[in-house]
Amino acid sequence: MGPLYKLGWFDFAYSLQIAGLVGFLFGFVLERAGFGDARKLTAIFYLRDFAVLKVMFTAIVVCVLGLLYFSLFGWIDLSRVYILPTYIWPQIAGGLILGVGFVMGGYCPTTSIVATVSGKLDGLVFIVGMGLGSIIFAELFPLLRGFYEAGSMGTVRLPDFLNLRPGVVALLVCFMALCAFSAAERVELIFGNPDELPKGSRKMKIVASGTLIFLGLILAVGYPKALYEQKPVSTPFPTEERGSLNLQQKTAPVEKPKTTDSFKIVEDEGC
């Protein structure tokens, strides 16, 4: 939604309304899919139900194909899509901590909110734990700052890292998803309960797989690399764009109060 907003498709107030609607629909779909239940989410760790893997991998594939096709049609400028900088060591540590918390608590941050709204007490406990953890991290940030910025790699994208065309990477991601789905279903049949697993038509699976590979092949063959080689945005709202986004309010200049040399903030304490 962000790139569409930056291209002027709708104003700031309308973007907030759309964000609220998208958030509500996202939570509703998660709850209806059973992701407000910790037993459903943790079943993947017992090899009984890989719904979490299927949903997340599907989201990745939709995002990859959607961004490339939207940029191909001129609906999105990829250079305006914010990419989180890579800090390899703290992000690996954060992934491990999140994984352990997922196994122990039964939720990830988003699903804990869905569970709480659904009336589950364990989801509320999980949210309280996240809040306390965030406060502790903020207070300890000056001590952790060195590790927080360790392994800085800047803005990294898979096509650049693998030295492949973006369309080829999209096709490889599609293949990887199909292999993961197939392997997950085989494991589910061994360790899971067939009566509780969703039933799917073999014909529909073949059609969906063929469609996915076809969309990936189009990008692998025909996606122009020039659309992708534009310099990515490293900050969500660059200073030079704020005027066009109406983020700056026109106010009268305020005279700064006079200060003395008796007090000076030397370093941000992370609060």
C-alpha 5, offset from chain centre: 18
Residues 181 and 200: their CA atoms lie apart, in Å, by 12
Tens digit of pLDDT per residue, the chain (271 long)? 556 666 677 777 888 888 889 889 988 988 888 888 888 888 998 899 999 899 889 999 999 999 999 888 888 888 878 888 999 999 999 999 988 888 888 898 889 999 999 889 999 999 999 999 999 999 999 999 999 989 898 888 888 888 999 999 999 999 999 999 999 999 998 998 887 787 778 888 899 999 999 999 999 998 887 777 766 555 544 444 444 444 444 444 445 545 444 434 444 433 3
Q: Look at residue 103 and tell me if it is in a domain.
A: no
Residues 106 and 123: their CA atoms lie apart, in Å, by 9
Residues 115 and 94: their CA atoms lie apart, in Å, by 23
Q: Look at residue 130 and tell me if it is in a domain.
A: no
List of residues 6+ apart from 172 with CB closer than 8 A:
164
Can you tell me which residue has the tokens 């803005």? 155
The token duo for 12 is 């700031």
Residue 169: CB atoms within 10 A of its CB come to 23
Q: Look at residue 18 and tell me if it is in a domain.
A: yes
pLDDT (0 to 100) of residue 260: 47
Residues 44 and 25: their CA atoms lie apart, in Å, by 24
Q: Look at residue 138 and tell me if it is in a domain.
A: no
Which structural domain range is residue 199 located in? Answer: 2-83+155-241
For the chain, the domain total comes to 1
* Structure confidence by residue, pLDDT tens digits, 177-194: 999 999 999 999 899 888
* Structure confidence by residue, pLDDT tens digits, 43-78: 998 899 999 899 889 999 999 999 999 888 888 888
Q: Please, is 114 exposed, middle or buried when counting C-beta atoms within 10 Å of its C-beta (0-12, 13-18, 19+)?
A: buried
Q: Look at residue 115 and tell me if it is in a domain.
A: no
Among 67, 60, 95, smallest CA distance to 181 is for 60
Q: Look at residue 100 and tell me if it is in a domain.
A: no
Q: What is the pTM of this model?
A: 0.73
Q: Look at residue 199 and tell me if it is in a domain.
A: yes
Going 34 to 170 to 226 to 154, the CA torsion angle's sign is positive
Residues 149 and 10: their CA atoms lie apart, in Å, by 36
pLDDT (0 to 100) of residue 261: 46
* Structure confidence by residue, pLDDT tens digits, 147-160: 998 989 888 888 88
C-alpha 106, offset from chain centre: 19
Q: Look at residue 104 and tell me if it is in a domain.
A: no
List of residues 6+ apart from 166 with CB closer than 8 A:
68, 159, 219, 223, 225, 228
